[in-house]
Structure formats: structure tokens, C-alpha cells
Amino acid sequence: MVDPATLATLGVAGLASLFMAWAIGAGSSGSTPFAPAVGANAISVMRAGLVVGLLGFLGAVLQGANVTEAVGNDLIVGVSITATAAIVGLVTAAALVAVGVFAGYPIATAFTVTGAVVGVGLALGGDPAWAKYREIAALWVATPFLGGGAAYVTARLLRAESIPERALTSVLAGVVGALVVNVGFTVLGPPGEQGSIAGVLAAGLPLPTLAGVDAGWVAVTLALAALAAVALHVDTARDPEAGQRHFLLVLGGLVAFSAGGSQVGLAIGPLVPLLDGNLAVPLLAVLVGGGLGLLAGSWTGAPRMIKALAQDYSSLGPRRSIAALIPSFAIAQTAVAFGIPVSFNEIIVSAIVGSGYAAGGAGVSTRKMLYTVLAWVGSLVLAFGVGYGAFVAVDAVL
């Protein structure tokens, strides 16, 4: 039986988590996935906010477990996050993200949450989780180079007159299809694990394993990738512009789904140690609650940030938008698979800039980018300092 005081504290922590989920939905996960599609006039701002909210909710429920558990248990060693620490950390991070939303600058949510959780965790007396920090830092540093570089190369290829655009776009659709069928879903795996579409289908094929590689998995992946390529090839044959627009919207949807799977962990991760220690609440129920918070944020606050990203960072056409979204989806799913909190603002903005430079830097605002990078770094440092100091102050009073 949980005493009333503990239950009340957990309730406050839950409200702080929902506030964080709203701020993420309004900012990072709600605005970035469809910003390139809006910039290419493939979908309206308001419709993008509606769709991204629904897809983000599904991603949170089906893919959110890995990052949620990492944020809750892997950022600090030696102690478990208490209810008070969770409240301080979540409120600190959410306040910074909300300021960014209303100011029109995309604060990197992963930076603020990570900084705040580490800050309150160290103030609790925990020790740094250096191994996890190295994983996180490696992805954060590599993202602008990998995402921006891949977007630049893809955009250059799509602009090359020597390469048939329809054939290249179909190949890109096949690559995306191969990624999709190997994405992990909670409902496809055994309890506590995730499974992929390719893995499930390959299990029913009587094919051997060669050199440690499942021939059935290879066959299924190639077959479904070819199916995606052919589908787009046929679509663009009917109407090239419509087919390109359909591909762009599919990519935006995949990135929105991935955003939900990653970003929900930033909102509800600090609650995991509390629920494990005080209440027998299934993780799925917490993921649903976090997903609803993302949904509310996307529907109420995302349109402002979608406009900022779509119009202020680069003047995007369909080709450069496609070039930006493909590496964004790949990086996002890599982060989800390894349970690494990642900033979708960093992923998308880097890809947008990379695709913009493929056209000679047309429409890329260097001044805006400089302010954004400073906001990212500042949010990490500020969240850590405020989280640490606020918890020390609150702990002294309570």
C-alpha cells in the first residue's frame, strides 16, 4: 500500500512528465518530421501537425521502450532517480523546451533532458555513467556529419542530369523499404524484446544460414525493398510530381513515427525508477500516457515550429526534402535500436542544411544556424546546472 504523501508526489511527477511530453510534441517530435514536406508544399502546416501527432503516438507505444529505459536507468549509476529528482529534472527540461517553442528556436530536447537528468542524478549522489555518455556523445557529434553529408550526396545525385531521376528515386524507395522491414517493434518480438517484419517473415522460410547470415532474412529484405521500389516507380510513371510528393509524405510519416519512439523516452524515462519501486504499472501503460502527451503537444504547439523550420532554415523543394528525410529516418531508427536519446532538431536541421548546400547553399540562413547551435550547447549546459542547483535547493528545504 502506497502512503498518500508518496502517491501525491508520484502524481506531481506524472504531471511534470506530461508537461515534458507536451513540450516535446510541440517542439522536437511535433515539428521536425514534416518540416521538409511543408517546405516543399507537399502538405499544409496544420495538417502536418495533425498527422505527426497521430504517428508520434503510435511510435511511442510501439518503439518507445528502449530509450525510455535508457533515460530512466542508464544515465546515472549508483542511485535511482527519486520522485523529487524526477520532478525537478522534468520541469527544468520542459521549461527550457517551452521557451524555445514560443521564441521560435528549436531547443534540442535530448540535450535538455539528458543535462537535467544527469544534473539531478549527480546532486542525488550518483556517479557518472561514462560508458553511456560516450555512446551519446558519439551519436550527437556524428549526426551533423552523417545526416548532413548523406543529405548533401543524395540531393546532388537527384540534381545530376546524367542520372535518371525516376530510376534514382525508385532505388531510394527500395533503400527506405529495406530499412522499414528491419525496424524493431515491441508487438513483433518476445516479451521484453522487439522483432522486425523481415525477421518474422524469414522465420517461416526453410532457408539456411550462410557465413553467419540468415539467407531467409536477406531474401525477405530484398523482396520487400524491391516491392517498395517498384511501387514508387509505377506511381511516378502515372504522375512524376504526384509520385514524388507521395514519397515525401511517406518519409515524413516514417520520421514522425521514429520521433515518437525516441522522444517519448525523454518525457517518461525519469518515471521508470519510481514506478518500478513504488507502483506495479506496466511500461506499456506509461508509454501510452507519454504518447498522448506528445499527441497533445503536436496538435496545439507544433505548427509554429513547423513553420520556423520549413521557412527559416532553407528554401526546400521536393528533391532536397527527400534527401533530408532519408538519412533522418535512418539515424533516428539507429538511436531507437541502441536506446540513445537523440535530438530530432539536430537530425533534421543538419539534413536540411546538407541538402541546401547541395544547391549552392541557397536559402540556408547561416545566422539562424549559428544561433541554433549555440542554443543546443547552451541548453545542455544550462539544463545540467539548473537541474543540479534546483535539486540541491529543493532537497535542502524538504
Q: What pLDDT is stored for residue 205 in this prediction?
A: 83
Q: What pLDDT is stored for residue 313 in this prediction?
A: 45
pLDDT band at 314 (very low <50, low <70, confident <90, very high): very low
Look-up of cell digits 503536436: 298
Look-up of cell digits 509520385: 243
Q: What pLDDT is stored for residue 9 in this prediction?
A: 67
| Cα distances (angstroms) measured from residue 160 to each of 155, 157, 165, 169, 170 | 9, 5, 8, 12, 15
Least confident of 130-139, 211-220, 243-252, 311-320: 311-320
- Left (φ > 0), alpha (ψ -120 to 50) or beta: where does 126 sit? beta
Give the rounded distance of the alpha carbon of 110 from its chain centre.
9
Whether the predicted pLDDT of 79 surpasses 80:
yes
A 10 A CB-CB count for 56 gives 32
- pLDDT higher for 25 or 61? 61
Whether the predicted pLDDT of 45 surpasses 60:
yes
Q: How many domains does the chain have?
A: 1
How far apart, in whole angstroms, are the C-alpha atoms of residue 264 and residue 182?
21
The residue range of the domain holding 30 is 4-397
Mean pLDDT of 235-249: 89
| Cα distances (angstroms) measured from residue 392 to each of 10, 73, 96 | 19, 21, 19
CB 379 within 8 A of CB 386: no
pLDDT band at 219 (very low <50, low <70, confident <90, very high): very high
pTM here is 0.85
